Each structure stands twice: as structure tokens, then as C-alpha cells.
């Protein structure tokens, strides 16, 4: 993987058309501090600004994806009320940037994804998990609350009853159960995880970028009415029809080959 820039708390790299943001505080199981949130946002900015990047993968270094807030830092009680609010806003902004990114985001959950780690995962377009990984929302159980728009997104993914169970009980689920309830897209055994993530990311990256962008925008906009959706889908289709990728897709279909999309 070609390293593009260095950060304090993440490893950022680009391989072909895939950008990877690897949370890199393994000695704290990638627990969140302000700098990690800031670095993730900067990594998303880099991926967004690179026309060659088609897909963003977020994963964790070591045996965890992200275990949530760094309670050791919280426990010091050194933040002022304003600093606490800024920290919370950063967490929301990370989830918003993932959810609203013009490029598909894959959460490759390699281990524990708890609290903020689960929120980052659910904000992504796809969750790929090791079977042994665990995802959960412990917030209510420890007297705090979820963030990142999770109370809106999670019920859309798994239904209201299951979302209530996961958030209120704080129960952790593994990769296989996450797939069964519709939360995760794929679950892999530990040995096949990296290959599975790579293959899935490449399959998404092979799609036409404009089509991907329109698909993500429409699927994530839960507030748009049916009549409005008819209009915006039509406009998206018209926009696709004037691209070179549209012509390539038609030609590839006629010639019975895989299309090679270039994003214009």
C-alpha cells in the first residue's frame, strides 16, 4: 500500500482505487481520543479529494476495531465543559462524514467494535466482520448515550425491535449474528478476513463512480418522499447518461465483457 501521509493515530494508505484508514492505537484497543477523530476526518478528506479513489475502507490495527471512548482519558476529568462538547461534536462529525461521503465506505471490523467503534461501523455503507469480532452499544449500560445518528440509522438496518434490544440491553453480537439480522453485509472466518475484505472492496470499486454516488445518496436519504424520489432518480439517471462511463457500460454489455469505468 502506498503511504500518502503520516498521522499520529491512523495509518492512511492508497492501493490502486482503495483508500484505507487504519485506526492505530492498538495499545489502547484503538480507543477514541480527540486526535483520532481529527485524523479520521483528515483521512476521509484525502480519500475524497483523490479522483482515483473509489472506495474507503476503515479498519483497526491489532486485535480491535475500536472499543469506544478512551475511558482512561475521560477518567482524568481534565476537559472543561466546552472541551467535552467539542469532543462530542467531533464524534458526530466523523459519523456524518462517513455517512455523507460521496464514496462508499466499508467498515472492516477485525475485532471489538464497541460504542464509538460501533457507531463508526453503522455509519458506513457496508460492515464486513470477522466471525469472532464483537459489535455492541454499551452506552446505556454505563450511564451515557449513543451518538452519530445511530437511533435513526440502526432501526432502518435491523428493524425497530432489534435496534431497541441492541441499544438498550448493550448485548454484543458476533459477525455471524450481525449478518443474520441484516446489520453486517459479510462475515468471514479469521483466516479469510483480509482476503474477503479485499475482494469485496474491489468489487465495489469496479462500479461506475457517478452511479455509486447517486445510489448512496438516494439509499441514505430516508426523508425524501416517494414523489420526490421519482424526480431525483430521473435526474440522476439523466446525469449518468451523459458520461463516458455510461457509454462504456453499454458497450461492455453488448460485447459481453466487464466494463472498465474511469469516472468521467
Select, from the ranges 4-13, 18-27, 79-88, the one with the highest average predicted confidence (pLDDT): 18-27
**pLDDT at residue number 1:** 56
**pLDDT at residue number 6:** 83
Strand, helix or coil at 54? coil
pTM, rounded to two decimals: 0.94
CA dist list (Å): 18 to 24, 64, 185: 18, 21, 18
Indicate the average pLDDT of the chain: 94
Spatial CB neighbours of 53, under 8 Å, sequence gap ≥ 6: 14, 17, 18, 19, 47, 103
CB 58 within 8 A of CB 109: no
**pLDDT at residue number 24:** 97
**pLDDT at residue number 195:** 98
Domain ranges across the chain: 2-205, 209-254
**What topology does CATH give the domain 2-205?**
2-enoyl-CoA Hydratase; Chain A, domain 1 (3.90.226)
φ, ψ dihedrals at 262, nearest 5°? -120, 0
Nearest to 178 by CA among 125, 109, 117: 109
Which amino acids are annotated catalytic?
A: 119, 139
CB 220 within 8 A of CB 164: no
CB atoms under 10 Å from CB of 240, counted, come to 16
Strand, helix or coil at 243? coil
Spatial CB neighbours of 60, under 8 Å, sequence gap ≥ 6: 22, 23, 26, 30, 66, 109, 110, 111, 117
List, as one string, the DSSP characters of 169-228.
Answer: H---EEHHHHHHTTS-SEEE-GGGHHHHHHHHHHHHHTS-HHHHHHHHHHHH-TT--HHH
CA dist list (Å): 165 to 54, 113, 123, 176, 180: 35, 17, 19, 17, 15
**pLDDT at residue number 184:** 98
pLDDT at residue 264 tops 80: yes
CB atoms under 10 Å from CB of 235, counted, come to 10
**pLDDT at residue number 186:** 98
User: Residue 164 gets which letter from DSSP?
Assistant: H
Q: Which of 142-151, 181-190, 203-212, 216-225 is least confident? A: 216-225
pLDDT band of 111, cuts 50, 70, 90: very high
Displacement of CA 163 from its chain's centroid (Å): 18
**pLDDT at residue number 250:** 93
- Please tell me the distance from the alpha carbon of residue 136 to that of residue 240, in angstroms, as a whole number: 39
Amino acid at each position: 500500500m502506498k503511504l500518502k501521509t503520516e498521522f499520529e493515530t491512523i495509518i492512511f494508505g492508497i492501493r490502486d482505487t482503495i483508500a484505507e484508514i487504519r485506526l492505530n492505537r492498538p495499545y489502547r484497543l484503538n480507543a477514541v481520543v480527540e486526535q483520532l477523530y481529527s485524523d479520521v476526518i483528515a483521512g476521509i478528506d484525502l480519500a475524497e479529494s483523490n479522483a482515483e479513489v473509489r472506495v474507503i475502507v476503515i479498519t483497526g490495527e491489532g486485535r480491535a476495531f475500536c472499543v469506544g471512548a478512551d475511558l482512561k482519558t475521560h477518567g482524568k476529568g481534565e476537559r472543561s465543559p466546552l472541551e467535552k462538547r467539542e469532543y462530542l461534536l467531533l464524534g458526530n462529525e466523523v459519523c456524518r462524514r462517513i455517512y455523507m461521503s460521496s464514496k462508499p465506505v466499508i467498515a472492516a471490523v477485525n475485532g471489538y467494535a464497541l460504542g464509538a467503534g460501533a457507531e463508526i461501523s453503522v455509519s458506513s455503507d457496508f460492515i464486513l466482520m470477522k466471525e469472532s469480532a464483537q459489535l455492541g452499544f454499551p452506552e446505556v449500560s454505563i450511564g451515557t448515550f449513543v451518538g452519530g445518528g445511530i437511533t435513526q440509522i440502526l432501526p432502518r438496518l435491523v428493524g425497530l425491535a432489534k435496534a431497541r434490544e441492541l441499544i438498550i440491553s448493550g448485548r454484543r453480537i458476533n459477525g455471524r449474528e450481525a449478518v443474520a439480522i441484516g446489520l453486517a453485509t459479510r462475515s468471514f472466518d479469521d483466516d479469510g478476513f483480509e482476503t474477503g475484505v479485499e475482494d469485496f472492496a474491489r468489487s465495489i470499486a469496479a462500479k461506475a463512480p457517478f452511479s455509486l454516488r447517486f445510489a448512496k445518496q438516494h439509499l441514505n436519504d430516508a426523508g425524501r418522499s416517494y414523489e420526490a424520489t421519482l424526480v431525483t432518480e430521473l435526474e440522476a439517471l439523466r446525469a449518468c447518461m451523459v458520461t463516458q462511463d455510461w457509454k462504456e457500460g453499454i458497450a461492455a454489455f453488448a460485447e459481453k465483457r466487464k466494463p472498465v469505468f474511469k469516472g468521467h
